[in-house]
Amino acid sequence: MDIIEWPVDAMRVSAEDWHLVGQTLVSQGIYGPGTHGFLENRIWSVNVSLVHLQSSLWRAVRAVLDEARGQFGTIRVPVMCTLGLALGPVAFDGGVTFNGGARFGSHVPDDLVTKEALPAGASRVGLRGSLSMRLRLGTMFSLPGDALHRVARMDGDVAIVNPPLRRAVARGSKVEVLAPTALMRLTEDDGRLSRLASGHTAPTTLRLVEVLQ
Amino acid sequence: MIQGRFWEAQPVELHDAIQAALRSSSVKLARLVEFDFSTGPVRLCDWAVPMTDGANGYEWTPMIAPSRVEDIKGGPDDWAPVRKYSMTIPLDVMRELTADIGPYPDLRDKTVYQDREASMWLQLMDPTPGLHGVDRPLGHPVTLHRGRMDRVQIGLTRDGVEHSLYVEGVLARKGVQGSGYLTPRDQKRRHAGDLFLDYVLGLPTQPAKWPDY
């Protein structure tokens, strides 16, 4: 499976809404309030707003859509770091760097890894590494294979996450919190993307859904 | 108090836990479908993560797409009823899912599936996850339907692929003729030597042979 890279800079978008979409079975009760049956079949979905995309980055996104061939292609989509910290060499918004292209330096933390091997379906992820103290409600990270997860709460150095792990993870696997990624695909074949005279982009949003491996 | 065969089939030590789970207005559950193909059984669930059942400990492959059981119907005027299992897989998740099933048999060969058993089950899940937060089954799965596979139909639409399997349950009438009406031959099969329907006008296959008075 060829994976198309979505440029990180082109994902500095004005709005995004990473959310899990699932299904609940609801049956009306005869003598009671009814039953809500939950099926663990949630997958990631996101609407990416492109309305303020710069012209150079607009062309990059256009190229990604060309290569994706509609719903066919798998795209590795960067997820904005949710730690709220500038960790590692960074460029300012808009891609501002030093003249030579070097980025701005800052503290580079050690890798965050899984503390133990975890089976598929696990929703408690034990962590090891200094960054584990910075994880909190809502932090997003990815595990090997671009499996995206969001922290529901922390229990010491154990993150309770959604969705559960799609597949087993080995002990010491890297937990990517600074630059998480997810494998997604477009939900429409018609990859229209236009640059308007106003400087804005249309359509203003692209919808992507998770690729299950 | 829940009674009946469902209850008798559950392990005694789990009665309280099952009762408590069913009394709650929210239950976690999974739908399981098993096809006993001649090439080996295929077990699917409508979860996004693999799960094991509480009876045999089989692992069920995640399929996400909710399977659907239609009402018992079929044949002209619904006189030859069968039940149809349908699984509509959206295009955006289809490719990975079908790859996940692995050794899926070649359904062009009817001996692979025809007259072999297919069944659909409902598995209640424990509200309290187990080790590493992995969801675990609570009690034994409940049969929703079981029958014998008869024919497969695959429909392609703009939005996905619908894979339909006609499964004959106990109410299906094996070997009925096209019109579906009860015939003198059916009657003789059930009650050997019964000539009653031979003398009923309007039955399609057997012209009435009136006695020569």
Instruction: Specify the pLDDT at position A30.
Output: 63
Under an 8 A CB cutoff, do A187 and B100 touch? no
Q: What is the pLDDT of residues B174-197, one digit of tens each?
A: 555 555 566 777 778 778 888 888
Give the residue on A whose Cα is nearest the Cα of B127.
A38
Tens-place pLDDT, residues B108-162: 778 888 888 888 888 999 988 889 999 999 999 988 777 778 777 766 666 566 6
Closest in A120, A185, A209 to B49, CB measured: A120
Of A28-42, B29-43, B193-207, which one has max mean pLDDT? Answer: B29-43
Whole-number mean pLDDT of chain B? Answer: 74
**Interface with chain A: mutation pick from B92, B101, B131, highest number of A CBs within 10 Å:** B92
pLDDT band at residue A142 using 50, 70 and 90 as cut-offs: very high
- DSSP collapsed to 3 states, chain B: CCCCHHHHHCCHHHHHHHHHHHHCCEEEEEEEEEEEECCEEEEEECCCCCEECCCCCCEEEECCCCEEECCCECCHHHCCCEEEEEEEEEHHHHHHHHHHHCCCCCCCCHHHCCCCEEEEEEEEECCCCCHHHCCCECCCCEEEEEEEEEEEEEEECCCEEEEEEEEECCCCCCCCCCCCCCCHHHHHHHCCCCCHHHHCCCCCCCCCCCCCC
- pLDDT at position B164 over 80: no
Q: What residues of chain A lie within 8 A of the CB of B46, using their CB? A: 39, 41
Taking residues A23-34, what's their average pLDDT? 72
| Residues 33-92, chain A, touching B (beta carbon < 8 A) | 33-43, 71
pLDDT at B33 over 50: yes
Smallest Cβ–Cβ distance between A120 and the set B50, B64, B93 belongs to B50
The answer to whether B121 contacts chain A (CB < 8 Å) is no
B61-84 tens-digit pLDDT: 887 665 566 656 665 566 555 666
With cut-offs at 50, 70 and 90, classify the pLDDT of residue B170: low
* A88 — pLDDT class (breaks 50, 70, 90): low
Position A148 scores a pLDDT of: 94
Between A66 and A33, the higher pLDDT residue? A66
pLDDT digits (tens, 9 = 90+) for A159-206: 999 999 988 999 999 999 988 999 998 888 876 788 887 777 777 788
pLDDT at B1: 45
B95 vs A174, more confident: A174
- pLDDT confidence of residue A128: 92
CA B12 to chain A, closest CA, distance in angstroms equals: 24
Cβ of residue B152 closer than 8 Å to a chain A Cβ:
no
A148 shares contact with chain B (CB less than 8 Å): no
Distance from CA of A5 to the nearest CA of B (A): 18
Q: Which residue of B25, B46, B133 is in closest CB contact with A41?
A: B46
Mean pLDDT of chain A: 84
